[in-house]
Amino acid sequence: MLETNHWPWPVQAERSRAAAPAGKEGLPMILPHRVEGSGDGLAVLMVHPLGADQTFWDECRKHFGPGILTVSCDLRGSGNSPDLAEPLTLDSTVDDLETLRQYLGLERLAVMGCAVGAMAATAYAARYGGRTAALVASNPGFRVTPEGAANLRERSELVRSSSMAALLPGAIENAFVGFADTRARHDYEARFLRQRPENYAFAALGAAEADISGCGAAISCPVLLVVGRNDRLFGIAHATPMATAIPQAELVEFPEGAHFIPYQQPREFGATVSAFLTRNGLARQR
């Protein structure tokens, strides 16, 4: 991959960049990111879930159709981003996403996320409505359940006292219902285990406190909510209140969908997103 600095728009080739440290030349930290596709169409900024990094989007970004510029990034504490020293909040993540948008010189974009990443994407769309052309939230929810929050806090304590392997098999099995014996599952597990436990612990603590229930009415762009029938963590009971609260929201359920639909069903997810963007005049027809 090619490390780049600022580049003129439009972007035609694949480019990637490591993190720019905070304070360098007076600039805030820029999240490590990768840009793919043609710069003459809609930019889609993709936000990965808890426990993943930007490679989460590698397959599904191939299926969004022509004229789409995809931008993935490593959130703080993930992938090649700096380590965390405190819980990762939605506010700080939204700040980082907006800094990345400004760095790339994008006037407007669609923002997309999965699970906790969908919470961050939704919070971004609510705060920066003038910059957001569309929102795609896969496996979404306003907040985790009290039981889920308690589980995340327990996970945080466990990995700090032991290792990432201490969360297996449950943490992976719950997310991969129906996709247990797949290459995607095995690849995800390998990356999951390579994380620094402290980073995961801080990210999990932040996710346990995250709440975007006040964001719905502030979102004015077209919204696609994608839910999986087999998602044990953010299922239809989480997505339905969001569909009610957010204007212009469409709700689509994947019958075989589990907790990471973009990763587990990349072709189907990509086609669904492409159709949504085309219906709303944001992407060229295939």
pLDDT for 65:
86
Cβ-based neighbour number of residue 210 at 10 Å? 23
Distances in Å between the Cα of 275 and the Cα atoms of 63, 115, 221, 270, 278 are 11, 21, 16, 9, 5
Domain with residues 15-143+212-279, CATH architecture: 3-Layer(aba) Sandwich (3.40)
**What's the average model confidence in pLDDT over 40-62?**
97
Percent of the chain surpassing pLDDT 90? 86
Could you say which DSSP state residue 55 is in?
G
Residue 208 has pLDDT above 70, yes or no: yes
Nearest to 237 by CA among 227, 248, 222: 227
Nearest to 153 by CA among 200, 211, 105: 200
Residue 276 host element (H or E):
helix 266-279
Distances in Å between the Cα of 208 and the Cα atoms of 154, 159, 199 are 10, 15, 14
Q: Where are the domains of the chain?
A: 15-143+212-279
Lowest mean pLDDT among 25-29, 126-130, 156-160, 272-276: 25-29
pLDDT bracket for residue 38 (50, 70, 90): confident
Residue 69 host element (H or E):
strand 68-73
Instruction: Check residues 18 and 132 and name the one with the higher pLDDT.
Output: 132
Which tokens in the block code for residue 31? 């999240």
**What's the average model confidence in pLDDT over 260-285?**
95
Residue 1 has pLDDT above 60, yes or no: no
Residue 37, SS3 per DSSP: strand
pLDDT for 41:
87
pLDDT for 18:
66
pLDDT for 28:
83
Give helix then strand counts, H and E, for the chain.
9, 8
Dump pLDDT digits (tens) for 131-179: 999 999 999 999 999 999 999 999 999 999 999 999 999 999 999 999 9
Nearest to 245 by CA among 213, 221, 209: 213
Strands 15-17 and 33-37: antiparallel
CA distance 87 to 67: 37
Nearest to 188 by CA among 164, 207, 210: 164
How would you classify residue 14: left for phi > 0, otherwise alpha for psi between -120 and 50, otherwise beta? beta
**What's the average model confidence in pLDDT over 84-109?**
98
